[in-house]
Amino acid sequence: MITISDGTDTFSPILVTGYESASETRNIAHTIIGRPDPDYYLGGESSRTGTLSFMLPSSAALDVAAAILAGASVFTLVDSVVPEVDMTFVRDGSMRRRRGRTRGSWMLEVGFREVVS
Protein backbone atom coordinates (compact mmCIF):
# COMPACT_ATOMS: atom_id res chain seq x y z
CA MET A 1 0.00 0.00 0.00
CA ILE A 2 1.14 3.53 -0.84
CA THR A 3 0.13 6.59 1.13
CA ILE A 4 0.95 10.25 0.68
CA SER A 5 -0.01 12.58 3.50
CA ASP A 6 0.42 16.20 4.53
CA GLY A 7 -0.31 15.29 8.15
CA THR A 8 -4.01 16.09 7.80
CA ASP A 9 -5.14 14.78 4.41
CA THR A 10 -4.05 11.52 2.81
CA PHE A 11 -4.45 9.81 -0.54
CA SER A 12 -3.46 6.37 -1.75
CA PRO A 13 -2.59 5.95 -5.42
CA ILE A 14 -3.02 2.55 -7.04
CA LEU A 15 0.62 2.47 -8.00
CA VAL A 16 3.81 4.53 -8.15
CA THR A 17 4.45 4.22 -11.88
CA GLY A 18 7.62 6.26 -11.94
CA TYR A 19 10.30 7.32 -9.54
CA GLU A 20 13.44 9.12 -10.58
CA SER A 21 15.80 10.86 -8.20
CA ALA A 22 19.19 12.51 -8.22
CA SER A 23 21.46 14.16 -5.69
CA GLU A 24 24.44 16.42 -6.09
CA THR A 25 27.69 16.81 -4.27
CA ARG A 26 28.14 19.93 -2.19
CA ASN A 27 31.93 19.85 -2.46
CA ILE A 28 33.52 23.17 -3.43
CA ALA A 29 37.00 23.60 -4.90
CA HIS A 30 38.91 26.76 -3.94
CA THR A 31 41.68 27.63 -6.40
CA ILE A 32 44.83 28.77 -4.61
CA ILE A 33 47.07 31.14 -6.62
CA GLY A 34 50.54 29.67 -7.04
CA ARG A 35 49.45 26.08 -6.28
CA PRO A 36 48.57 23.38 -8.82
CA ASP A 37 45.94 21.80 -6.57
CA PRO A 38 42.92 23.50 -4.97
CA ASP A 39 41.71 23.33 -1.39
CA TYR A 40 38.36 21.57 -1.00
CA TYR A 41 35.37 22.14 1.21
CA LEU A 42 33.75 18.71 1.56
CA GLY A 43 30.05 19.43 1.82
CA GLY A 44 28.54 15.98 1.48
CA GLU A 45 25.59 14.96 -0.64
CA SER A 46 22.36 16.92 -1.16
CA SER A 47 18.95 15.44 -0.48
CA ARG A 48 17.09 13.72 -3.33
CA THR A 49 15.29 15.68 -6.02
CA GLY A 50 13.29 14.18 -8.83
CA THR A 51 9.93 13.17 -10.18
CA LEU A 52 7.18 10.90 -8.83
CA SER A 53 4.42 9.49 -11.01
CA PHE A 54 1.24 7.98 -9.60
CA MET A 55 -1.66 6.04 -11.09
CA LEU A 56 -5.06 7.00 -9.69
CA PRO A 57 -8.30 5.08 -10.28
CA SER A 58 -10.51 7.99 -11.41
CA SER A 59 -10.66 11.66 -12.25
CA ALA A 60 -12.21 12.29 -8.81
CA ALA A 61 -9.21 10.61 -7.11
CA LEU A 62 -6.91 12.66 -9.34
CA ASP A 63 -8.61 15.88 -8.22
CA VAL A 64 -8.24 14.93 -4.54
CA ALA A 65 -4.54 14.03 -4.95
CA ALA A 66 -3.79 17.19 -6.95
CA ALA A 67 -5.58 19.38 -4.37
CA ILE A 68 -3.57 17.83 -1.51
CA LEU A 69 -0.27 18.17 -3.39
CA ALA A 70 -1.08 21.76 -4.38
CA GLY A 71 -1.00 22.78 -0.73
CA ALA A 72 1.97 24.53 0.85
CA SER A 73 2.91 21.52 2.97
CA VAL A 74 5.55 18.96 3.77
CA PHE A 75 4.43 15.54 2.56
CA THR A 76 5.24 12.00 3.67
CA LEU A 77 5.42 9.14 1.16
CA VAL A 78 5.21 5.60 2.53
CA ASP A 79 5.32 2.57 0.22
CA SER A 80 4.97 -0.76 2.05
CA VAL A 81 6.19 -2.71 -1.02
CA VAL A 82 9.18 -0.52 -1.98
CA PRO A 83 10.36 1.18 1.23
CA GLU A 84 13.44 2.59 -0.54
CA VAL A 85 11.24 5.40 -1.89
CA ASP A 86 9.84 6.37 1.53
CA MET A 87 10.58 10.00 2.28
CA THR A 88 9.43 13.35 3.54
CA PHE A 89 9.31 15.88 0.70
CA VAL A 90 8.07 19.19 -0.62
CA ARG A 91 6.81 19.85 -4.12
CA ASP A 92 9.46 21.22 -6.42
CA GLY A 93 8.56 22.09 -9.99
CA SER A 94 5.50 21.25 -12.00
CA MET A 95 2.52 18.95 -11.56
CA ARG A 96 1.28 17.15 -14.68
CA ARG A 97 -1.96 15.24 -15.22
CA ARG A 98 -2.72 12.79 -18.01
CA ARG A 99 -5.02 9.95 -18.88
CA GLY A 100 -3.86 6.48 -17.90
CA ARG A 101 -3.63 3.51 -20.22
CA THR A 102 -6.29 1.50 -18.40
CA ARG A 103 -9.93 2.48 -18.54
CA GLY A 104 -10.78 5.36 -16.21
CA SER A 105 -7.30 5.68 -14.70
CA TRP A 106 -5.37 8.92 -14.48
CA MET A 107 -1.68 9.70 -13.98
CA LEU A 108 -0.26 12.46 -11.80
CA GLU A 109 3.40 13.46 -12.05
CA VAL A 110 5.03 15.81 -9.54
CA GLY A 111 8.50 17.17 -8.97
CA PHE A 112 9.88 16.79 -5.46
CA ARG A 113 12.73 17.71 -3.13
CA GLU A 114 13.38 15.46 -0.15
CA VAL A 115 13.32 17.16 3.25
CA VAL A 116 15.80 15.73 5.72
CA SER A 117 15.16 16.48 9.36
Per-residue pLDDT reduced to its tens digit, 14-73: 989 999 999 999 899 999 999 999 999 998 889 999 999 999 999 999 999 999 999 999
Residues 80/37, Cβ–Cβ less than 8 Å: no
CA distance to 7, 12, 55, 65, per residue, from 61 (Å): 18, 9, 10, 6
Distance of alpha carbon 93 from alpha carbon 24, whole angstroms: 17
Domains assigned to the chain? 2-114 (2.40.30)
Q: Structure pTM?
A: 0.82
Nearest to 48 by CA among 11, 95, 92: 92
Residue 78 and residue 66 in contact, taking contact as beta carbons nearer than 8 Å: no
